[in-house]
Amino acid sequence: MGVVNVTPDSFSDGGRWLDPAAAIAHGHALVAEGAAILDIGGESTRPGAAPVPAAEEAARVIPVIASLAGAGVLLSIDTTKASVAEAALDAGATYVNDVTALRSDPDLVGLVAARGCTCCLMHMQGEPRTMQDAPRYTDVVDDVRAFLEQRVAFAVAHGVAEDRIQIDPGIGFGKTTEHNLQLLARLDELVALGFPVVVGTSRKSFLGRITGRADPADRLPGTIASTVLAYARGAQVFRVHDVAPARDALLVAAATLRAHGA
């Protein structure tokens, strides 16, 4: 899953793809690098990010989605708002990636059910503006698993087909470095829920804290390491900024595991 941030303030590439033409070109480049999904978002969810009005968010992403609709890959709208998701689905998206797991907008679950699109339900403690203010858990993996089970049950009860649901532990969303590492180390406990697991570690700050890399652009080796480890533990979808190197790493990991009979 290649990231297309049509925002001025995303943590690692804010402003770089804000112009629709630049975002469209970037999307095509990620497809050429091997992306199977493009995740297109018009509102940053970095720690401390401020909300964006729905009309402004839609104005950022809809031209990009409409232009990429013929790119031959799945298009995902990264939003928490039903009105933005509906416009994106009308423009050619078939996947809704909601960092609030259908909690933010009461109309979103009905839209996802009615349109039969795939959705990703992600765990986040708090909200982007406050999520890194001393996050606490009893046991982060048990707590995240229980939350995701509850949100899956909510989605299914409102008509979303089980085979259209994916889950995301929300690496970096209301978690300390140790929380993130526990989730990665015990990812198989989330895989056991039976839904495709999406993992997004790309360029995130916990990788910088481990490696000493302050610039997000310098965190590609850490991204690859965490992505490969997540794959080995059963994750199926990997949300990354740097598609080509992540794809190569995953191809080598997959070939090695096959050779070992895994």
Q: What positions carry a catalytic annotation?
A: 204, 239
Residue keyed to tokens 């056991």 = 192
Tokens at residue 258, please? 């096959």
140-157 and 177-185 are packed helices; what angle lies between their axes, rounded to 10 degrees? 70
Instruction: Label residue 217 exposed, middle or buried (CB < 10 Å: 0-12, 13-18, 19+).
Output: exposed
| CB contact at 8 A, 200 and 171 | yes
Closest CA to 44 of 89, 2, 12, 19: 12
Instruction: State the sign of the Cα–Cα–Cα–Cα dihedral 208, 143, 169, 9.
Output: negative
Give exposure, 103-112, as e/b (b: 16+ Cβ within 10 Å): ebbeebbebb
